[in-house]
């Protein structure tokens, strides 16, 4: 803006404001046009289903009935009270928690190990290894579950055959309640390529000058890793942990393919989402299934909020005021 424009705006502020008002309105209209697809998607695919779920949780609506207002019988908090009398609720939540306890650490340690390997200066063929590590993520989850159903077969799976060649009796992975959760975690490791790429990008963003200075001061590899690498990539680690926790609590498809709707063997694969699926689409109890969905939503929301709270003290952001 020239000195003349500044002087004019100071002398006639109301006139300048009136001239700028049509431009502001036009810019606001175009802004609404560009975000309209997102607003429509938010309304139709996020807010409306949430409101509908809350509404259904107070009814005994069944999917076998016609979706009309007369078929909604309000039962108050009866569906919520049924949570305390449902043994499968606590059982499915326990199965999910056991899976989460294994899945989240493995979902961080394994891709971080791959990322550290690919970030090494002495590794030859980095592009090839990066492709090989990432390639399994493009395999559909259904196909991956079927492949691992053969890989972990108690009799003909190559893992048990390798253990047998060493004189070790391999477990009955998917048929033993004690081993089915570890087997499902092994199944999930084939798709760690996404997390690996994100962690590799974080590692490559760490300034090399810091490592060089630490090396000159006599810092060992372990000291550099825990005192430089981990703090510098802590935002990326936190991002992967958050997505890992949310994804683990929503685990469904492999458990459904391996254990079926009954959660075999012996209900050991009766995950929370499988219990929710059975109530909604097998028993057609949409009211109680809505309660299960809301409980999971609130549980993940609280857990995520706690993670963000503790992240304020543990995650390092360069340039942020602590």
Name every residue whose Cβ is closer than 8 Å to that of residue 289 and which is 6 or more positions away in sequence. Answer: 276, 279, 280
Q: What pLDDT sits at residue 13? A: 58
Three-state SS for 253-314 is HHHHHHHCCCCCCCCCCCCHHHHHHHHHHHCCEHHHHHHHHHHHHHHHHHHHHHHHHHHHHH
Q: What pLDDT sits at residue 121? A: 82
Q: What pLDDT sits at residue 4? A: 45
Tokens of 294: 């809301």
Would you give per-residue pLDDT tens digits along the chain (322 residues)? Answer: 455 454 445 555 566 566 667 778 888 889 899 999 999 999 999 899 999 999 999 999 887 777 777 778 899 999 999 999 999 999 999 999 999 999 999 999 999 999 999 998 888 888 898 999 999 898 899 999 999 989 999 888 999 999 999 999 999 999 999 999 999 999 988 889 999 999 999 999 999 899 999 999 999 999 999 999 999 999 999 999 999 999 999 999 999 999 998 999 999 999 999 999 999 999 999 999 999 999 999 999 999 999 999 999 889 887 665 5
Tokens of 137: 């993520």
Is residue 61 within 8 Å of residue 72, measured between CB atoms?
yes
Q: What pLDDT sits at residue 202? A: 94
Q: What pLDDT sits at residue 89? A: 96
Q: What pLDDT sits at residue 319? A: 62
- pLDDT tens digit sequence for 225-245: 999 999 999 999 999 999 999
d(CA 300, CA 251): 13
Is residue 279 within 8 Å of residue 291, measured between CB atoms?
no
Full set of structural domains in the chain with CATH = 3-56 (no CATH), 82-314 (1.10.3720.10)
For the entire predicted model, the pTM comes to 0.86
Q: Where are the alpha helices (DSSP H) in the chain?
A: 3-11, 13-42, 48-56, 78-81, 87-118, 126-134, 141-151, 158-165, 180-188, 193-204, 208-216, 221-224, 230-232, 234-249, 253-259, 272-277, 286-314
Is residue 277 within 8 Å of residue 192, measured between CB atoms?
no
DSSP per-residue codes, 211-235: HHHHHHTT--HHHHIIIIIHHHTHH
Is residue 270 within 8 Å of residue 88, measured between CB atoms?
yes
Q: What pLDDT sits at residue 21? A: 77
- CA dihedral defined by 172, 175, 181, 182, rounded to 10 degrees? 10
Q: What pLDDT sits at residue 320? A: 63
- pLDDT tens digit sequence for 74-94: 999 999 999 999 999 999 999
Per the document, the length of the chain is 322
């Amino acid at each position: 803006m020239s000195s003349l424009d500044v002087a004019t705006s100071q002398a006639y502020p109301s006139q300048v404001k009136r001239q700028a008002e049509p431009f502001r309105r036009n810019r606001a209209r175009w802004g609404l046009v560009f975000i309209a697809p997102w607003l429509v998607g938010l309304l139709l695919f996020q807010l409306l289903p949430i409101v509908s779920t809350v509404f259904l949780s107070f009814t005994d609506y069944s999917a076998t009935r016609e979706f009309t207002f007369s078929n909604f019988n309000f039962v108050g908090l009866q569906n919520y009270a049924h949570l305390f009398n449902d043994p499968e609720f606590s059982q499915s939540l326990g199965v999910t928690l056991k899976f989460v306890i294994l899945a989240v650490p493995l979902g961080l340690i394994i891709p971080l190990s791959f990322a550290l390997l690919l970030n090494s200066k002495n590794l030859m063929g980095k592009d090839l290894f990066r492709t090989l590590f990432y390639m399994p993520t493009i395999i559909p989850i259904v196909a991956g579950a079927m492949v691992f159903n053969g890989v972990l077969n108690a009799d003909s799976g190559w893992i048990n055959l390798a253990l047998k060649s060493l004189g070790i009796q391999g477990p009955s992975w998917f048929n033993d309640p004690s081993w089915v959760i570890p087997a499902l975690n092994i199944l999930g490791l084939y798709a760690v390529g996404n997390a690996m790429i994100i962690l590799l990008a974080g590692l490559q963003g760490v300034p090399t000058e810091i490592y060089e200075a630490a090396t000159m001061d006599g810092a060992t590899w372990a000291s550099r890793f825990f005192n430089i690498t981990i703090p510098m990539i802590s935002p990326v680690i936190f991002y992967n942990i958050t997505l890992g926790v949310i994804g683990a609590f929503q685990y469904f498809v492999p458990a459904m393919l391996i254990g079926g709707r009954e959660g075999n063997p012996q209900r050991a694969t009766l995950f929370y989402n499988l219990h929710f699926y059975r109530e909604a689409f097998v028993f057609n109890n949409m009211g109680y299934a809505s309660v299960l969905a809301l409980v999971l939503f609130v549980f993940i929301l609280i857990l995520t909020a706690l993670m963000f709270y503790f992240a304020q003290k543990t995650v390092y952001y360069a340039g942020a005021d602590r």
